[in-house]
């Protein structure tokens, strides 16, 4: 099976799940727990527990949180290539989850924002491997050059490359045109419906996917409870699959990362798009059913 190299962000998620509707300006009872997070690290972890050889490249602080995140990745079976930052703390994200499962995030990238081109280990880049780049690394100005360097190494090694859209708000702040320029040469773009609209101005996921094939040969758009679609150049209609039913959505954090990790192995194995989409939706449903963005061991 193809080795997947993930370059991206590593975070500690402080997840606060409200027991009742939020009392604005007041006190709402909640359960608060700490979990490993970061979109790139999440993808690598889900890939590893699914039996895929995965490596993760990132940066952490010289703190207890960073050491714990490092050990967690190794526990999942990820080849963790983390550079220790002597000055910045490990990234932290406060995840506020409503009683209905909706979430709002407050992120401090910490050491992620200092990822450097020299932090990217060249031995991971070889023919036959695959690079998945977290959009967060491109959207953060401090780590952008490292992300672009990783893409260049992958292109030189004739590796396939996929990129995700990161976060809607960060993508909007960076602008569609720069992001499309940074990701030239990417084979497949994975975005949610909101990110697709930011990049194209189209509120229809199908129309947005068609527009995006002017830059990427293949596009995947996830649409929450409406499932996901895949579209490629020259195709009349997109391939769509429904979302996997989830009896109780506990936490939406990491659902998109799990989808990516479910989709990529089948896609890299040249399985039909519908099969790859369905695999992504199944893994996303697993992520939504428990607290935290990582797999449960």
The tens digit of pLDDT for each residue in 116-169 reads: 999 999 999 999 999 999 999 999 999 999 999 999 999 999 999 999 999 999
Strands 79-85 and 130-133: unpaired
* CA torsion, ordered 260, 261, 267, 272, to nearest 10 deg: -80
Specify the pLDDT at position 163.
98
Letter string b/e over residues 161-187, b meaning 16 or more CB atoms within 10 A of that residue's CB: bbbbbbbbebbeebeeeebbebbeebe
Q: How many CA atoms lie within 13 A of 16 on its CB side?
A: 15
CA–CA gap between residue 28 and residue 292 (Å, rounded): 20
Handedness of CA 177, 209, 183, 150 (dihedral sign): positive
What angle do helix axes 205-212 and 193-200 make, rounded to 10 degrees?
A: 60
The CATH class that applies to domain 4-9+38-89+110-288 reads alpha beta
Strands 54-61 and 79-85: parallel
Strand order in the sheet with 103-108: 30-37, 11-18, 91-97, 103-108
CB-count burial class (<10 Å; 0-12, 13-18, 19+) for 155: middle
> Tens of pLDDT along the chain (297 residues)?
689 999 999 999 998 989 999 888 999 999 999 999 999 999 999 999 999 999 999 999 999 999 999 999 999 999 999 999 999 999 999 988 888 777 788 999 999 999 999 999 999 999 999 999 999 999 999 999 999 999 999 999 999 999 999 999 999 999 999 999 999 999 999 999 999 999 999 999 999 999 999 999 999 999 999 999 999 987 889 999 999 988 777 767 789 999 999 999 999 999 999 999 999 999 999 998 887 789 987
Residue 161 makes CB contacts below 8 A (sequence gap 6+) with: 130, 131, 132, 133, 151, 154, 155, 185, 186, 187, 188
Specify the pLDDT at position 251.
66
Specify the pLDDT at position 152.
98
What are the structure tokens assigned to 178, written together? 């720069």
CA–CA gap between residue 284 and residue 282 (Å, rounded): 5
Specify the pLDDT at position 291.
75
Q: Please state the domain extents for the chain.
A: 4-9+38-89+110-288
User: CA nearest 79: which of 57, 50, 51, 46?
Assistant: 57
């Amino acid at each position: 099976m193809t080795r997947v190299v993930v370059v991206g962000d590593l975070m500690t998620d402080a997840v606060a799940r409200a027991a009742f509707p939020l009392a604005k300006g007041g006190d709402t009872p909640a359960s608060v727990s700490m979990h490993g997070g970061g979109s790139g690290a999440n993808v690598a972890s889900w890939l590893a527990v699914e039996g895929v050889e995965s490596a993760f490249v990132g940066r952490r602080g010289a703190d207890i949180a960073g050491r714990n995140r490092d050990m967690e990745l190794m526990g999942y079976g990820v080849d963790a290539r983390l550079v220790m930052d002597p000055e910045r703390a490990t990234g932290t994200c406060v995840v506020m989850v409503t009683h209905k499962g909706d979430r709002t995030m407050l992120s401090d990238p910490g050491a992620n924002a200092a990822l450097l081109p020299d932090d990217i280990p060249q031995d991971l880049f070889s023919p036959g491997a695959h690079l998945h780049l977290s959009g967060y690394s491109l959207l953060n100005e401090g780590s952008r050059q490292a992300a672009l360097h990783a893409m260049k190494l992958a292109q030189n090694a004739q590796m396939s490359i996929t990129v995700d859209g990161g976060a809607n708000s960060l993508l909007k702040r960076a602008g569609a045109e720069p992001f499309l320029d940074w990701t030239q040469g990417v084979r497949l773009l994975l975005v949610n419906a909101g990110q697709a609209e930011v990049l194209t101005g189209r509120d229809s996921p199908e129309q947005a996917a068609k527009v995006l094939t002017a830059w990427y040969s293949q596009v995947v758009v996830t649409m929450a409870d409406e499932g996901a679609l895949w579209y490629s150049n020259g195709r009349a209609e997109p391939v769509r699959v429904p979302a996997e039913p989830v009896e109780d959505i506990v936490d939406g954090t990491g659902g998109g990362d799990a989808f990516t990790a479910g989709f990529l192995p089948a896609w890299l194995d040249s399985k039909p798009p519908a099969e790859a989409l369905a695999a992504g939706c199944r893994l996303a449903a697993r992520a939504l059913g428990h607290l935290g963005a990582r797999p449960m061991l």
